[in-house]
Amino acid sequence: MTTVLGCIADDFTGATDIAGLLARSGVRVSLRIGVPEGPPRDTAAFEVIALKSRTAPVGEALAETRAALRWLQAAGAQRFFWKYCSTFDSTSEGNIGPVAEALMADLGTDQTIYCPAFPENGRSIFMGNLFVGRQPLAESPMKDHPLTPMRDSNLMRLLAPQVTRPVGLVDRLCVADGAEAVRQALGRLQEQGITHAVVDAVAMSDLDSIASACRDIPLMTGGSALAAPLPALYIAEEWLAPDATAAAPPRLDAGAVVLSGSCSAMTQAQVAAYLRQGHPACRLDPLELAETGAGPALDWLARQDLAKAPILYATAEPASVAWAQERLGVARAGRLVEDTLATCAVAARDAGACRIIAAGGETSGAVTQALEVARLNIGPEIAPGVPWTFCTSGGRQIALALKSGNFGTEGFFSDAQSRLAQA
């Protein structure tokens, strides 16, 4: 099948996020882990390429993203979506802005939009300022993110140092007037030489208007919720057949494991709720991992009954994270946790865990790469932006749930297992 929309995500949970929302349409979505080797084959109407580039050096992120774009173009895509976190996770150097400009240059387009809003998950933009629930981004728990602390809520101020051309705004008053008003506003900004347009959205209906206004531009950028209206728009334009089919889920053996490296406020609550339910648990401390390696965790895992869905977690409060980073360095502390959880994922799979839940973008990337997964098919949605996915790893059919740290409710880990049992 010719690919209608090509999506590039800067981390693995973001990739499953956008793939899951596109799959709500019932149309087949294919998620590739990293840039595929060789020419496109067995492609879906919606192709998503997951990169692990959010915190990579800018040059590396640009090279990987451009390679992904070339593959998607070879698959037939003419419209593209650059997906990043709904909390705009980045530094003053990037990588959101530099990647967007590189994609624009390769596509020969002189304007794109930025809209990370996801109202269904409490992410909204008003007058260019991003809110997490009722809190401005800079006052939310994201201010203490261990890799990309967000200390400003204004997307235009965050984006301006990352790009080389002017940044403007299409505000909520305009968006409320509908798709045609958004189109006209973008045209006026373009006449003024404004290349990068932040677009407000406080409700899912706002995203419908924005997507409609921008459905035929070469490049859209933002959070996954902005892509959700696109399948219906493409079907209406006859760019996509309404009878395209979704992939069927495989039959899986019993056995599950939860691997949590995220330290977000929501994941802390989810881990605490899971522990209260009495599941076997092993807490990972980066300082201890620096001394012992993964051996003790693997020994603990080998003694567990996987039918009880044990959890291994490094989830901790910001003060504990900061203490470990001070002693070990930010990069090493994170790498110790990621490598241990990834090693445990492989051990759990080999011991019979066919259901693996990973919490946190960096954790999900490390786990997926360790499992040597090349492609994921999208299954039932657990929570907004978090689907189950199905793949082959080590010669076995497995299910993976890759959860962004901030997504889901407190009962997510148990809800995920129940949702898959009902599929």
Q: What is the pLDDT of residues 249-259, one digit of tens each?
A: 777 878 999 99
Q: What is the mean pLDDT of residues 173-195?
A: 98
Please give the span between the terminal C-alpha atoms of the chain, in angstroms, as a whole number: 26
Average pLDDT over residues 175-186: 98
How high is the pLDDT of residue 252? 85
User: Which pLDDT band, with edges at 50, 70 and 90, does 144 fall under?
Assistant: confident
| pLDDT tens digit sequence for 198-242 | 999 999 999 999 999 999 999 999 999 999 999 999 999 988 876
Q: Helices (H), strands (E): how many in the chain? A: 15, 18
Backbone angles phi, psi at 390, to 5 degrees: -125, 140
Mean pLDDT in residue range 79-87: 96
Q: Which residues of 174-192 are buried (b: 16+ CB within 10 A; e: fewer)?
A: bbeebbebbbebbeebeee
Write out the two tokens for 361. Answer: 């973008």
CATH number of 5-236: 3.40.50.10840
Q: Rounded to two decimals, what is the model's pTM?
A: 0.86
The backbone torsions φ and ψ at residue 192, rounded to the nearest 5 degrees and listed phi first, read: -85, 5
User: For residues 88 and 155, what is the distance between their CA atoms, to the nearest angstrom?
Assistant: 8
In the numeric block, the tokens 């049992």 are attached to 421
Q: Which residue has the higher pLDDT, 37 or 26?
A: 37
Spell out the domain ranges in the chain.
5-236, 256-422
> Region 109-117: what's the mean pLDDT?
97
Average pLDDT of every residue of the chain: 93
Residue 242 is predicted with a pLDDT of 65
Fold observed for domain 256-422? Molybdenum Cofactor Biosythetic Enzyme; Chain A (3.40.980)
> How many alpha carbons fall within 13 Å on the CB side of residue 364?
29
Give the model's confidence band at 246: pLDDT under 50 very low, under 70 low, under 90 confident, else very high.
low
